[in-house]
Amino acid sequence: MATFEVFGRRKWDAPMEHVGILHAPDAEAALVLARETHFRHDEGVEYAVCPSEHFHTQDPTLLERQVDISYRLQSGYSGFRDKREAARQAADARGRSDLRERPVPRRHGGEV
């Protein structure tokens, strides 16, 4: 008997998530048994199993952060209203304000 880790996908576009374990003699049996062990309430659209002995867990403290890494995140960028205004004023000073008068789509500059 061995322990298997069970992973399932809730929706076709969702990532595989860990949903639990089960005991089974081998992977083939684990695949059959996982259905009613973990997905009997329609919890997913796809699942997979992996022997627990091949499932390695990292010490979670390795992910703890003490140094600010917001430069890697969207939150690290701000103040765009002011920055755009500064660029407009610079454009005016360079005599380039006429570019702003050209027709553009009504809802332009769609943010990503």
Partner 1 sequence: MADLALPDLSTPRSQVLLAIADDALISGHRASHWTGVAPSLEEDLAFSTIAQAGINHADLWYQLVLDGTVDDVSAGVDALGLGREPEAYRHAIVCERPPRDFAYTLARHWVLDRFEAIRLASLAASTDPEVAALSVKLLHEHRYHLEHAQLWFDRLVRGGDEAADRLRDGFTQVLPEALGLFEPVEDEDQAVADGLLPVGHARLRERWLESAAPLLEQAGLADLVPAVDAAVPDEAAFGRRGCHTDDFVVDVWPEMTRLYREHPGARW
Partner 2 sequence: MSATSTSDPVREEEFLAALDAGHRVEPFEWMPDTYRTLNIKFIEMHANSEIMGALPEREWIARAPTLKRKRSLAAKVQDEVGHAHLIYRVAESLGRPRRAMYEDLIAGTGRFHNVFHYPTYTWGDVACIGFLVDGAAIVTQRALLDTSYAPYARVMKRVVAEESLHYRHGEDIMLALAAGTDEQFEMLQEAVNRWWEPIMHFFGTAVPAEEDPMIRWGVKGRSNEASRQEWLNTYVPKMWDMGIDTPDPKLAYDPDTGWWDYTEPDWDRLAQIVKGEPTEATASRLYWRQLLHRHHAWVHDIVLGPEPATAA
91 touching partner 2, by CB under 8 A: yes
- CA 7 – CA 46 distance, rounded (Å): 8
73 touching partner 1, by CB under 8 A: no
- CA 27 – CA 35 distance, rounded (Å): 13
Calculate ∠ Cα 99-100-101, nearest 5°. 90
103 touching partner 2, by CB under 8 A: yes
67 touching partner 1, by CB under 8 A: yes
- Tell me the closest approach of the beta carbon of residue 84 to partner 1, in angstroms: 15
57 touching partner 1, by CB under 8 A: no
- Tell me the closest approach of the beta carbon of residue 64 to partner 1, in angstroms: 7
Q: Which residues sit at the interface with partner 1, rule CB under 8 A?
A: 62, 64-67, 69, 71-72
